[in-house]
Amino acid sequence: MNKNRLITFRFLMTTVILFLILFALIIYLIISNSDSKVLINSVKSIDYKDNTFYVVGNTNDNDNYVEKAKFSIYDNKFNKTKEKLYNKSYASSYNDFYLDGDNYIFVGNISETVDTYKKNINKAVIIKYDDEDNVIFEKNYSLNDNSSFTNISKIGDDYLVVGYSIDDKKGSSIIIRYDSKGKVVWKNNFGDNIYSRFNSAIIVDNYIYAVGLSNKDIGVICKYDFDGNLVSYKEYKYTNGIGFSDIVYHKKSLFVVGGYKVNDTTTSNDALIVKYDLSLNVVAEEKFENNHDSRYNKIIVDNNNYLVVIGNAKEDDYNGLISKYDDNLNRIATVSYGDDKNDYFNDIVLYENNYLVVGYSLNKHIYQTKFIIYSDALKVLEAK
């Protein structure tokens, strides 16, 4: 009898333990599929024209939490008047765009199916719409598995796009000139490794200047003629894993921004701005050292001929960063922004006599689009 009671007791205890394990597993799955899901509504690029804001980015506000490219229009009170998602592929993202009269040209990347999405196989994409959302042309490009266009600008009547195409073993930066109907005029590649990428390009005096990364932690600036021939290039040691992220032309000089590393083994970065002449010689450089990881992402020239740059700095969390320089790279001011847990600054435009910065902030598992208006003195006037 005692033996039977012992067996029954052990059976009950085993059943209770299994039930507790099952209950814990159910709770874990509920948490994993709810709170751990991060909702993204981000802005990557903005333009301002005729009292209207045009922005592109991506959102994963859908049942599968898969990112979709989006184009949004806001009035000057920041009321959204239009939003259009790209739904032709399983996943997508817009990185930049160009307003060409009544037409919109978007660049980014797409993953066509669930299978390609899981394998991180992406095609670079350029799409041109008219103002009634009719597709004028759509072109894809992929040299390797993971491809993306990062920037677009106008070159004559054509469009110049830059980006990257990489996989696990090889890769290169890409630069392509498309005509107004989407036909490739010429294309070229730079670099031959998995780190190569172009992030931005501008056109100055019949030459194209593209910036990015040539190899692991090595920034690069390349000079091309209008036929796509590489004229010269200069590397910069060392940058972070993005390399040089943006470039502007001002007072017969080129100014590029990114993140500086003391060497290729350190994990910390300083926000960096470098001044080049048109022959790609370094004239000056300045680093913002704040004892934390920081980098500059975008740069513009304001109405008073100052250089205004935005980026990020990691303190306890990631904060937005905005700085102002003269053309000799004397830093006039730097202001940090940390309204939410993490704030990321992605782009900046002149807005009347002020600066409009856009990006996104993390708050309770939601990356929310953020608009911040700064005065000329870098004071926050409004944040939405």
Give the domain range for residue 373: 38-383
Q: Does residue 9 sit in the same domain as residue 104?
A: no
Please report the pLDDT score of residue 316 as a whole number: 79
Query: What does the DSSP assignment read for 16-33?
Result: HHHHHHHHHHHHHHHHHT
Question: d(Cα 198, Cα 162) in Å, to the nearest integer?
Answer: 6
Question: d(Cα 272, Cα 189) in Å, to the nearest integer?
Answer: 26
Helix, strand, coil tally for the chain in percent (to 5): 10, 60, 30
Domains held by the chain: number = 2
Q: Reduced to 3 states, what is the DSSP secondary structure of residue 277?
A: coil
Please report the pLDDT score of residue 174 as a whole number: 98
Please report the pLDDT score of residue 291 as a whole number: 66
Q: Does residue 172 sit in the same domain as residue 319?
A: yes
Q: Does residue 1 sit in the same domain as residue 84?
A: no
Residues of the chain with pLDDT under 70: 1-37, 263-264, 291, 340
Q: Which amino acid is at 367?
A: Y
Q: Does residue 173 sit in the same domain as residue 107?
A: yes
DSSP symbol at 122: B
Q: Does residue 306 sit in the same domain as residue 207?
A: yes
Closest CA to 278 of 229, 232, 325: 232
Q: With residue 2 as reference, give the H or E element that holds it.
A: helix 2-32
- State the pTM of this model: 0.89
> What backbone phi and psi angles, to 5 degrees, belong to 30?
-65, -45
Please report the pLDDT score of residue 31 as a whole number: 40
- Residue 290: which residues within 8 A CB-CB, separation 6 or more? 270, 271, 313, 315
CATH number of the domain where residue 211 is located: 2.130.10.10
Q: Does residue 278 sit in the same domain as residue 170?
A: yes
Q: Are 117 and 111 in contact (CB under 8 A)?
A: yes
Please report the pLDDT score of residue 49 as a whole number: 92
Q: Does residue 60 sit in the same domain as residue 156?
A: yes
